[in-house]
Amino acid sequence: MKILFIFLLFVVYFALSLSLESTNAIGLYLIISLGFFFWGVIEWRRSINRRNAEDRARCEELLAEIPHTQSLISDSLLNVMLIDDVNNILYILQRDSLVEDFSIENVPFSQVLEVAIVEEERVLNLYPKEGLLGSTLVNNEEIIEEDSDEDEEEEEVEEVEESIEALCLKIVVDDLTKPILEYPFIVFGEPLATDSEKYIEVNSLCDEWYQKICIIIKRYEHEKVVVRLWQ
């Protein structure tokens, strides 16, 4: 309500400045109207930051009820990954909006079979490589090699700014009802330029948690199960 009133004053003073004849009066009212405008923008940003802080605090309160030693919370507060290194449990929490409750998947470390970094449906890194998705990774590597030759030819003609539309961790678990879990770092509809600081930060974070889950997998040995496709 306060912000709306400030912007209303901006409109009033700006309209008055257009109706005056005196140059000094016009200048004064324009300065006052601009002052109200910038004040309104500052208050609006403060309101957004305050709301974001409150949403994050509520999210952290919910997560405090789940025992964990490490946490990863998305900027949207819709996706969370937790590691409980005491009880050896991996949690993946997801929801569609801030007003909804999280759906919680808790997986014992011993049931984590594989982890992969997937960028726009391409498997970039996979552990273990001889595991369930080994053939998928090999096929992608061959495709990437073929694409790289074509890209080199295209780059000679024209340089195009690249962006990534999807980046996630996919985790295979020993659960027939839901064998594949996913944690998104970049979601479709929110692409990031590959040369941006945000992408570098997100990519580094993705690689860090990929390494953590690799360590979890290394702690346990599993019987191999044949799975033909990554879906």
**Same structural domain, 45 and 75:** no
* pLDDT at residue 154 greater than cutoff 60: no
* pLDDT at residue 137 greater than cutoff 50: no
* pLDDT at residue 156 greater than cutoff 80: no
**Same structural domain, 95 and 28:** no
**Per-residue confidence (pLDDT) for residue 151, from 0 to 100:** 52
**Same structural domain, 92 and 35:** no
**Same structural domain, 94 and 204:** yes
Query: What DSSP letter does each residue of 5-23 carry, written as one string?
Result: HHHHHHHHHHHHHHH---H
**Same structural domain, 126 and 195:** yes
**Same structural domain, 40 and 139:** no
Identify the domain containing residue 23 by its residue range. 2-51
**Per-residue confidence (pLDDT) for residue 201, from 0 to 100:** 93
Higher per-residue pLDDT: 146 or 199: 199
**Same structural domain, 46 and 158:** no
Q: Is 227 among the domain residues?
A: no
Q: Is 61 among the domain residues?
A: no
Q: Kindly report the three-state secondary structure assignment for every residue of 103-171.
A: EEEEEEHHHEEEEEEEECCEEEEEECCCCCCHHHHHHHHHHHHHHHHHHHHHHHHCCCCCEECCEEEEE
CA atoms of 14 and 28, how far apart (whole Å): 10
The whole-number average pLDDT for the span 75-93 is: 94
Q: Is 223 among the domain residues?
A: no
Query: How many CB atoms sit inside 10 A of residue 90's CB?
Result: 23
**Per-residue confidence (pLDDT) for residue 48, from 0 to 100:** 86
Q: Is 20 among the domain residues?
A: yes
pTM for the full model?
0.73
Using the structure block, give the residue that is written with the tokens 């759906």: 103
**Same structural domain, 96 and 207:** yes
**Same structural domain, 42 and 145:** no
Q: Is 17 among the domain residues?
A: yes
**Same structural domain, 102 and 10:** no
Higher per-residue pLDDT: 227 or 164: 164
Average pLDDT over the chain, rounded to an integer: 81
Helices and strands, number each (H, E), in the chain: 4, 10
**Same structural domain, 88 and 39:** no
Q: Which residues pair with residue 60 across a beta bridge?
A: none
Higher per-residue pLDDT: 205 or 120: 205
The whole-number average pLDDT for the span 148-158 is: 47
Residue 87 in tokens: 């009880």
**Per-residue confidence (pLDDT) for residue 108, from 0 to 100:** 94
**Same structural domain, 37 and 84:** no
Higher per-residue pLDDT: 107 or 224: 107
Using the structure block, give the residue that is written with the tokens 């961790």: 169
Structural domains in the chain (count) = 2
Query: How many CB atoms sit inside 10 A of residue 3's CB?
Result: 15
In this prediction, residue 12 has a pLDDT band, given cuts at 50, 70 and 90, of confident
pLDDT in tens, 210-225: 999 999 998 886 444 5
pLDDT in tens, 51-78: 889 988 999 999 999 999 999 999 889 9
Q: Is 124 among the domain residues?
A: yes
